[in-house]
Each structure stands twice: as C-alpha cells, then as structure tokens.
Chain A
Amino acid sequence: MEIKNAVAGTLESGDIMVQIAPGEGLQVELQSSVAAQFGRQIKAVITETLQGLGIDNASVKATDKGALDCTIRARVTAAAVRATGKDVWKD
C-alpha cells in the first residue's frame, strides 16, 4: 500500500496528533504527557489499529495529550485514510 504524508488530530488536552509518513516496517515514535503510566498501551493501540487497516510499513509520530484509547483509534484511522487514500468507512 502506498503511503503519503498525512496528519490527524490536535494538540488539545485529551487529544492526540498522529503524523504518518512512508517507512520500512512499523515505527512508532511517541511523545505523551502520560508516557510513564500509559506509553506502552498507547503504542500498542496505534500499532494494532494500523495493522488492522493492513498498514505494515509506515513511520508514525504521535504527540499525545492524555487521549483515551477510542480517541487514539479514531485519530490513527483518520491519518491512515488520508495517508493511503483508501476510505475504510465507505468500503
């Protein structure tokens, strides 16, 4: 699947900004205000969401401001749709 640079989300409290770029394998770089307690979980949710969308090669940069898992999934999915041009909600 071809990946273009794409972004979704904001830097507001309770949100996460997800930037996707072309890459080899799945690489997730996370900055989070709750990294000590939830960094591991947040990275897992990002990775699982991308794999669920069939994306196995991408470089992801995420800046988290305490988002819940549902928000993380939504932002990652939106960024993935923009990066691939494949509308997962329609198909």
Chain B
Amino acid sequence: MRNSKVVTLEEAIVKSGLKDGMTISFHHHFRGGDKVVNLVVAKLAEMGFKDLHLAASSLSDVHAPLIDHIKAGVITKISTSGLRGELANEISHGLMKEPVVFRSHGGRGSAIASGELHIDVAFLGASSCDELGNASGCPRSENAKSICGSLGYALPDARYADHVVVLTDDLVAYPNVPKSISSCDVESVVVVDSVGDSSKISSGAIRDSKNPRDILLAKQAAKVIINSGYFKEGFSIQTGTGGASLAAVKYIRESMIEQGIHASFALGGITAHMVKLHEEGLIGRLIDVQSFDKVAAESIAHDQFHQEVSAVEYASADHVGSAVHALDIVILSALEVDVNFNVNVLVGSDGIIRGAIGGHPDTAEDSALSIIVCPLLRGRIPCVVPKVTTLITPGKGVDVVVTEYGIAVNPERPEIAERLKAAGLKVVDIHNLAAKARSIIGEPDALPFGDKVVGIVMDRHGKVLDEIHNIVD
C-alpha cells in the first residue's frame, strides 16, 4: 500500500526521534498478559537508551523484567496507577533513585491533556491495525490473536503524545473500521508476534469469587444500594475490582427485575455481569474505559450501545463532560479504610506496594453514593484501621463501608444511615469496627519504614496527596 507506515520496532524507534531522558508511554489493557512493555523496553535497552521515564497507565506482576532495566539505568523514572509483584517489592525496598509517581486513571488523563505529563513517544498495543495506523482492541480477522476490547487508557496517549507507534499482532486490510485510534495520530505501525495474552486479562485484582464471606459482603452491599435512596428508574452504576464488589451485581439484578427498575448506564471496567444485564435490557448503555474479561471485549466489538471512552471522558476531574460526574452509585474495594473513611488501595499493611489506584478516588469523589466493601480482617491483617498506611481516596468522598461485622456510614451522610437503619440493616460506628479488629488481632508493631521516598501519590486534581517510604527488612 502507498504510504504504508509498517516498519520494524527498531526503525520505528529511530524514526520517533527518541532521546535519552525522554518519556515513553504504554497502556495496560492486557493487564497480567501484557507483552508490549517488556518487548519495547528490551529493545530500547539493546539500542543503548538511558534515563527514560516510563509512563504507563498501570504495571503488574508481568513487568518484573523492568527491574534489570532500572538497575542498568535504562529506566530511571516511572509514572503509573499501580505496581504489583516483584517489581513493586523491589521498588518498595528502594530500587529507584527517583520516587514513582502514582496517579488515578482520571488524574493521568487530566495530566496528559494539560501537558503536565508530556509523552514523547507512545507505544500502544492493538488487537488489530491497518498499514496506516487505524487501530482497535477488537478482532477484525480470523487471525486475531490478542483481544482486549476497549482501548480507553491508550486514547489520551494517542491524542497527546508527540509520536505514536502502534504495535499489533494482526495487520488487517485498510480501512480497519470502526477504529479506536485514528491513523491521523499514528506515525508508525509495528507487527509483532503477540501484543498480549487475552486469557490473562481477568487476572490479578479481577476474580469471580466463590468465597462465602465475599458472597455475604456482596449481598450486604446490594441491600445497601437497594435501600440507599439512589436505587430508582434510570440510575447509573459502576463496580470496581474485588470479588465482593463484582458479585454484588448479581444480587442487584434480582431486585431490578423484581421492582421493574432499569439503569441508564453502567460505567468503568465492564465485566461479563454488566454485559448480561445490558443484554437483558436492564442496563441501557455500557460506558467502557477497560474491558475486564473476554465477554466484555466481544460485546464492545458488536454492540453499538457498548461505548468505548477515553480515560479523560471516563474520570477526569476537570472535564465537565466526564462520565463520573453523572455517576450515581459506585461499589469499590479497599486494602484498608480508616476511622475517618480514608481509603488505601495501593500499599499493603506490610508497607509494600501491592495494588493500583485505578479509578478509586475519581469515582468515589464524583459519584452520589460510594460504597466500600471489605472484610474486617484478611487473615491477621486488619482492613478497618485507626489510620491508613497510605492515603489514596480521602474520606470526604466515601459514604458507606460494608463489612461482615456491620455497615458504617460517613457522619456527613446521616440521611443514608437513617434509610439503612429503617431497612433493618446493622449500622455501626466505624470506630467500633476498628476496635473489633484490634480485639481479635492485638496491637500491631509499627512498620519498619526507612527515610527514602519511593512513591508519591498525586490526587486527581494534580496535587501531592501522600508519600510512600521505603521498607527496611
């Protein structure tokens, strides 16, 4: 084809004008199955690049090979929503000179759009792409290998990066429509063996729980929603990751059918549960920044009312049109919640980074009703604590905390507490939950934090919210 943009990875990097010290970006739609970050960074190392800033929408267990590239000075700065596995462990122990900058998904979108996070070269994996760079996360041929559905987190990068390289494992005939990323934004197309393992998308934080405690919590969360005052015709809803919050959808469905109530839209990471309700006519539209499983990825390929949105349209604080501003109810999980309703979803109770901010603070702050679902204890680790290890979502945006020992309501929302009590739910003071946890586990010793700052948590408005210190063994 005339004007074909197909080149090798090395040619694409040379053509991009990438220099030492610049910022490269990636999306995380393949989650635990991602192959693009490791492939590209290995090539950059081989070509002798140093001192690069890696700005990913998120990183996970699969990115452990970055440890060697950090030690070798190829990568000296990281911006991400989350870190997991060995990479997170090493960084928590002080691997990097510069602290990792953590942003929410909406916060990253805003930072890219405003230029605060400037991307020099974006390397974006796509499930299908034509020779001019029209790219999609949906399959477009019988040869499709890696399907991720929505490319929402890659769209700000595609639009605002100085130079965009699309990597694909299925080069299809022009025109690859409908497209997510336009050829107008793409400089080079690189064909690789695989951009990701689709079977690993629903891994990590996303799992369908059979744990009886998760099911109990899910049923309680559904009761909170149904009796909250927000469960009425045309409501909107989002569920975060975590077994209980995903399972809650099943119980809400039963009440929607019984009471003849329909949702106008479901937002966020879209799951098979949400697709089912949509196909049953219970949810009008699906607004999808990230497809959490194969069913969601297939739905977005075929259903015109299952709409892909960018991270900016999804959750930016400073865009009036972002979907979180129209969101009624969100169910979220937590590693820790404290007596002031502050939530931590990033740093484990052992002080080691083991999670991701995701859309947690974006949706909690902007929704009309935010519900945190977490057990009182995970093993000996308390989930309701006097003070969170790291502040991610400020308590003013958190309305209800559901545990198996009772439901705590933010004192700022007395009307919700009244409605839940009237429905016969066990409403308790959050201080009592923290005390109950302490009575079972005893008083924990202080964590062995060092003096080095290994992470900086930005709030969704671009201000520093908290610092994460190194942990000393």
Residue of A nearest to B379 (CB): A66
Chain A residues close to B by CB (< 8 Å): 13-14, 33-34, 36-41, 65-69
Q: Smallest distance from the beta carbon of A16 to chain B beta carbons, Å?
A: 10
Instruction: From known contacts A37-B447, A38-B441, infer whether A66 and B350 are also in contact, taking CB-CB under 8 Å.
Output: no
Query: Judging by beta carbons under 8 Å apart, are B349 and A37 in contact?
Result: yes
User: With contacts defined as CB atoms under 8 Å apart, how many contacts are there between chain A and chain B in the complex?
Assistant: 41
Additional pairs, 5, CB under 8 Å, beyond known A36-B350, A67-B380: A37-B445, A37-B447, A38-B380, A65-B379, A67-B379
For the residues of B in contact with A, the DSSP-based class is loop
Residue of B nearest to A66 (CB): B379
Q: B424 at the A/B interface (Cβ < 8 Å)?
A: no
Query: Judging by beta carbons under 8 Å apart, are A36 and B351 in contact?
Result: yes
Q: List 5 A-B contacts (CB under 8 A).
A: A33-B350, A36-B351, A37-B350, A66-B380, A68-B379
Complex contacts, B471 vs chain A, CB 8 Å: 36
Complex contacts, A41 vs chain B, CB 8 Å: 442
Query: Judging by beta carbons under 8 Å apart, are A36 and B379 in contact?
Result: no
Q: B448 at the A/B interface (Cβ < 8 Å)?
A: yes
Complex contacts, B380 vs chain A, CB 8 Å: 34, 38, 66-68
Complex contacts, A66 vs chain B, CB 8 Å: 378-381
B183-201 contacts to A (CB < 8 Å) = none
Query: Judging by beta carbons under 8 Å apart, are A34 and B447 in contact?
Result: no
Q: Smallest distance from the beta carbon of A64 to chain B beta carbons, Å?
A: 8
Question: Complex formed: what's the CA distance from A13 to B21 in Å?
Answer: 44
Q: B444, B447, B448 — which one has the most chain A CB atoms within 10 A of its CB?
A: B444
Query: Judging by beta carbons under 8 Å apart, are B445 and A40 in contact?
Result: yes
Q: B440 at the A/B interface (Cβ < 8 Å)?
A: yes
Query: Judging by beta carbons under 8 Å apart, are A34 and B442 in contact?
Result: no
Complex contacts, B377 vs chain A, CB 8 Å: 68
Complex contacts, A14 vs chain B, CB 8 Å: 379
Q: Smallest distance from the beta carbon of A36 to chain B beta carbons, Å?
A: 6
Question: Complex formed: what's the CA distance from A69 to B438 in Å?
Answer: 12
Q: B351, B380, B444, B471 — which one has the most chain A CB atoms within 10 A of its CB?
A: B380
Residue of A nearest to B448 (CB): A36
Instruction: From known contacts A38-B441, A41-B442, infer whether A33 and B379 are also in contact, taking CB-CB under 8 Å.
Output: yes
Q: B440, B441, B447: which contacts A36 (Cβ < 8 A)?
A: B447
